[in-house]
Amino acid sequence: MVSCLRRLVETESPSHDKAALDHLGQYLAEEFAKIGGRIKFHKQEHAGNHLQVDFRGPGKPVLLLGHMDTVWDLGTLASMPFRVASGRAFGPGGFDMKAGIVQAIYAIRALREPVERLPRAITVLLVTDEEIGSQSSLQITGALATKSAAVLVLEPAQGPQGALKTSRKGVGGYHVKVQGQEAHSGLDPDKGASAVLELARQLLVIEKFADRKRGVTVNPGVVRGGTRTNVVAGEAAVEVDARVSRLKDIAYLDKKFRSLKAFDKRCKVEVSGGIGRPPLERSKQVAELFTLAQRLAGKLGWKLEEASVGGGSDGNFTAALGIPTLDGLGAVGEGAHARHESVVIAEMPRRAALLARLVESIPG
């Protein structure tokens, strides 16, 4: 598993480098073909080609979902090489989430032994743009998820105990722009309508959209406006980070933002944006899937935990489509997107074993 991980880490694959991603995709396709997978590339003009691998077997497939892109630029290996120390494997993109891909390969291998026949159909989808918002892969992910009995996401586990992620917040942003009327602050103060003052009043309204109990937060993090102290400001704008815990609050929050109206009739308020990644809710389906995973982990001799996290993954989309989704089945380690990114090697086999057990045990 370590040498396979080494190969994947040493094939660098930043989200914006199509050639590098296609190179890694080709290598992965060969590895999956060796264990009986049927390869299909979803060719992209600008993004890297997304890799789909189908394994024949009875029943509805289980979708193993991951990404092969990383946040690390080409050449990062020079200063942050793949290395093993104190039971950990270091290197760019190993934890997030190339080790998860390795575990998937080994889980499928194990399931094929000794008769080279799988207990059920499996689809693997490895996208190339998860770290930059999944624009070009979203439709493919959705279409494959809808055909599947469940989605198992190969993203890193949470914390040193390797908890699965059964709830993630939905994340997005709003841009509110105010158009005022410029005027000389000394000669014609009454002819002007200050966009800055109007925006200040809007901010006090926006603040009230937050609802802690419902898990709705808004943060007007960046404000811009005006040009000179002696000019009544003609323009002002705010960028707001917005997060929700429940699907239905996407519409609630959107309605609030879209209903913003200017206090001063001479000003105009424009709103754009929205919640781009829906929340992964701990629905009944998610809870049932976790209970199954916990039982299977118990048989392998460990107590599997669950966690709720603030960030999102492609699992948020599949869960929002109503497909049972379990996230965080990938590697145990630490430092995603950080230079000390590392994987606990001893955890890899049993997580591959859990993945294999889940694939054969999920009903449907």
Contact set with Zn ion (CB under 5 A): 96-97, 155
CB nearer to Zn ion: pick between 195 and 329: 329
| CB closer to Zn ion out of 54 and 155 | 155
* Tokens 């946040």 found at: 71
Q: What angle do CA 54, 114, 122 make, to 5 degrees?
A: 20
84-87, long-range: CB < 8 A, 24+ apart? 84/2, 84/345, 87/344, 87/345, 87/346
> Closest distance between Zn ion and the C-beta of residue 103, in Å?
14
62 in Cβ contact with 120 (< 8 Å): yes
Smallest gap from Cβ 22 to Zn ion, in A, equals 19
Query: Between residues 155 and 306, which has the closer beta carbon with respect to Zn ion?
Result: 155
**Torsion angles phi and psi, residue 266, rounded to 5:** -80, -10
The residue with its CB nearest to Zn ion is: 96
Q: How far is the CB of 155 from Zn ion (least distance, A)?
A: 5
- Compute the least distance from the CB of residue 73 to Zn ion, in Å: 16
Task: Between 315 and 324, name the residue whose CB sits nearer to Zn ion.
Answer: 315
Closest C-alpha to 294, from 342, 328, 320, 343: 328
220 close to 239: Cβ distance less than 8 angstroms: yes
At its nearest, how many Å lie between Zn ion and the CB of residue 148? 20
Helix spans in 152-304 (H): 195-207, 248-258, 284-299
Chain position carrying tokens 């449907």: 364
Provide, rounded to whole angstroms, the least separation between the CB of residue 67 and Zn ion.
Answer: 6
Give 96 or 249: the residue with its C-beta nearer to Zn ion.
Answer: 96
Calpha distance 289→225 (Å, rounded): 49
Of the candidates 71, 127, 4, which has an alpha carbon nearest to the alpha carbon of residue 341?
71
Judged by beta carbon, residue 167 or residue 194, the one nearer Zn ion is: 167
